[in-house]
Structure 1
């Protein structure tokens, strides 16, 4: 009953926790990747922004009629110092202004040739950004800015990025927790229902709403609940039937044994009573033998010795065994078989056991003078072969056919109106056929008027594929 619970108290992480951890890890990776990219691009973006600003200023100064450092210094006084320095390049290549030490010959040549310049330089021992624009009347204007300004802007950008990244990661973790709870809730409910079913509770409805997968689990649990209820009802009915069938011979044995012990049996009836005791003992032994056969067929280690077998020979052996018994009951045993062999890969001993069980069941209900037919033929399609046991008895109704192979079903239905055995013969035949990889079916009324059982054995190729 506790098969669904962790063994030896082992604890495993819950699905919800794993989803939260997974979403948090994914969010952290995304945040880390985004932060790394932002961290690397912040410096480039800050530098590019400062270069664009210097370019705009240099462009404005280059369009003045007269390039003048004094005019630029006046603008700085009005706007406040920002670390930007100016150099003016005259048409003859002379460089003047506070930023002139940072202007090298390459930049001077490019600017005098009419090409703008955007590079770096060194001014006062510090790295600076250097931007130059050719003047409209010749010469050029060069502006420089310390790189420390870029570093400060970069740090500010990075600080501004950290907070959104942290909040994004926290939001992802929260979303993961909510998602995990939503996903895990129906699974937890399904596990609780499964535990209740394992503890023997029945009629526990499982929800079938929500996502398709969880709805499928709910429907499967409902089907399992119904199947367990049906199976347990059948087992209960079977045990009641078994106890009844055991009690009858045991009661007879006990009654006659007590009568013999008390001296209540007349001497001339001792032989008769002994025969009754022997019959009841054999009946009890046969019933217990059927129970053991059924238990063996249900076992996982049930052995089959599969080899090529001629079903015509197997059926002929069975007919030779049953001919005498059928004759004593006045039943006409007939054998239908083709002229040549019918060979399949199977366990001949188990096939004979299956035939004997079906014949014993048919002989019990076949009246005197009626036929009992054993037939074999090759399958019409797909290889393999078909065995048939047909009788001239009362046959079966459509409802009988539906439950024919259930434990004791027909036995319980007809115990007061027909000769019955242990009630396990057809269940044994059905299970044995499945073990052989065969299909067994029944018709309520065959050619002889009674029931017709057909066993379809697979071909050798199909048997090897199993």
Structure 2
């Protein structure tokens, strides 16, 4: 089977969108993490160097002979980071290679017994400056070029870049795997939907996986069953329609050929003409029912809603049908209240509904039995009820379940009861829906036959 051509603008797939979205989220997270790491790297490197200088200065400040020990071990303490030393004497004199970096404020703080951690300028370059008061007065000052902090910061930042890049790549990969997992059941559901649209039936959809995808699978399975059921019904309906059309057409064709061949005696011509007219009217009635049903299915079906007195409407219908019922030996009875029964509805369509139900009932009502047309206010909630009851054979419980299906009762009783086109009750059911009303059927009413009840609301739903 050839699939239907896919039309419409090209759209990117859900999987691709998920990958792009997860990658974008990962990139944003990496960017924020990198920005924070970039800033904290400098602060962390500087703080580490200050802590190291502070520990060294603290050790030196506790020596009994501060100045002699400092100058004796100055070269050793300097080490690879170019640490410079200075001693602040109790009288404020500053000696040592780091002396030029000690400003007046730092010296005053140290002499007052407060530690110092700041920056300064030594030899034209910025340096970290840390000072600790001595245990016997004076203070020790250590400096370190700020370039050491910058170098350590750059090293930390270089070490951070690789994990961030790998993290983003990992997030993109995880997004791709996630997208594939999420999109797979949706792609499967779309493929099944296309197969159903192409006319294939009995296509099972998986109902495992997450709840949402399982719901989609169950919905597709229900749709598959509904489509199969509807198409079977349509097929049966078309077969029934073709059968009903073939019978009068065969009669018309046979008599027409007999007339054309001169096989009909002159005295039988009026009889044959009457038969042809009857079959033609039967075809016309059947095609009229088909058109009515098609109009009811249309979206632009029009209703002219206005206040209508159902008591008067039912009385008019009874006056019309009384003569027809009398010719069939059927007693048409009218049940109505004393006062008017007014609802907002389309009076023309309600009369069409009444006529259809009465015609259906008259067809199966035996001679000498009643046919009742009744109207009364609804028991609760406003509105009104119309009833058509007959004294015919009635309906079984199984008949009641399919009474409003296209041609269902027609197919069952075409050989045992008088039947029409098989569309009358389907039209009545659809028409009540259009009116915002409801219709129900009882297999055996008070007169012994079927009882159809239409409940009309006080006003149709908007």
Matched-pair contact (CA < 8 Å) for 1:366–1:372 = yes
Count matched residues.
Answer: 462
- Residue 27 of structure 2 aligns with which residue? 28
Q: Distance in 2 between matches of 1:73 and 1:385?
A: 117
Matched-pair contact (CA < 8 Å) for 2:77–2:83 = no
- Residue 268 of structure 1 aligns with which residue? 267
1:347-396 deviations in Å (ceiling 9; x for gaps): 11001101110110001001111111111222222222211111111111
- Residue 444 of structure 2 aligns with which residue? 445
Matched-pair contact (CA < 8 Å) for 1:306–1:346 = yes
Aligned pairs for 1:36-435 within 5 A: 36-68=35-67, 71=70, 74=73, 76-77=75-76, 80-435=79-434
Q: Which segment is superposed worse, 394-403 or 68-77?
A: 68-77
Q: Distance in 2 between matches of 1:203 and 1:81?
A: 82
- Residue 7 of structure 2 aligns with which residue? 7
Q: Distance in 2 between matches of 1:204 and 1:86?
A: 87
Matched-pair contact (CA < 8 Å) for 1:69–1:87 = no
Unpaired segments ≥5 residues, structure 2: none
Matched-pair contact (CA < 8 Å) for 2:289–2:421 = yes
Change (3 A) 1:96 1:162: same
Q: How much does 1:332 deviate?
A: 1.3
If the length of structure 1 is used for normalisation, what is the TM-score?
0.96
Q: Distance in 1 between matches of 2:388 and 2:421?
A: 19
Q: Distance in 1 between matches of 2:4 and 2:47?
A: 64
RMSD of equivalent CA atoms: 1.6
Q: How much does 1:11 deviate?
A: 1.6
Q: How much does 1:112 deviate?
A: 1.0
SS at match of 1:442: strand
Q: Distance in 2 between matches of 1:248 and 1:49?
A: 104
Change (3 A) 1:446 1:77: same
Q: Distance in 1 between matches of 2:296 and 2:155?
A: 80
1:387-433 deviations in Å (ceiling 9; x for gaps): 11111111111100111011100000000100000000001111111
Unpaired segments ≥5 residues, structure 1: none
If the length of structure 2 is used for normalisation, what is the TM-score?
0.97
SS at match of 2:350: helix
Change (3 A) 1:410 1:135: same
Q: How much does 1:70 deviate?
A: 5.1
Q: How much does 1:2 deviate?
A: 10
Matched-pair contact (CA < 8 Å) for 1:2–1:198 = no
SS at match of 1:209: coil
Matched-pair contact (CA < 8 Å) for 2:70–2:85 = no
Q: Which segment is superposed worse, 411-420 or 125-134?
A: 125-134
Change (3 A) 1:2 1:310: farther
Matched-pair contact (CA < 8 Å) for 1:389–1:454 = yes
Q: How much does 1:72 deviate?
A: 5.9
Q: How much does 1:69 deviate?
A: 6.2
1:310-351 deviations in Å (ceiling 9; x for gaps): 111111111111111111111111111222222211111001
SS at match of 1:68: helix
Change (3 A) 1:444 1:77: same
Q: How much does 1:79 deviate?
A: 7.5
Q: How much does 1:77 deviate?
A: 2.6
Q: Distance in 1 between matches of 2:351 and 2:107?
A: 111
Matched-pair contact (CA < 8 Å) for 1:375–1:389 = yes
Matched-pair contact (CA < 8 Å) for 1:69–1:97 = no
Matched-pair contact (CA < 8 Å) for 2:333–2:372 = yes
Matched-pair contact (CA < 8 Å) for 1:393–1:450 = yes
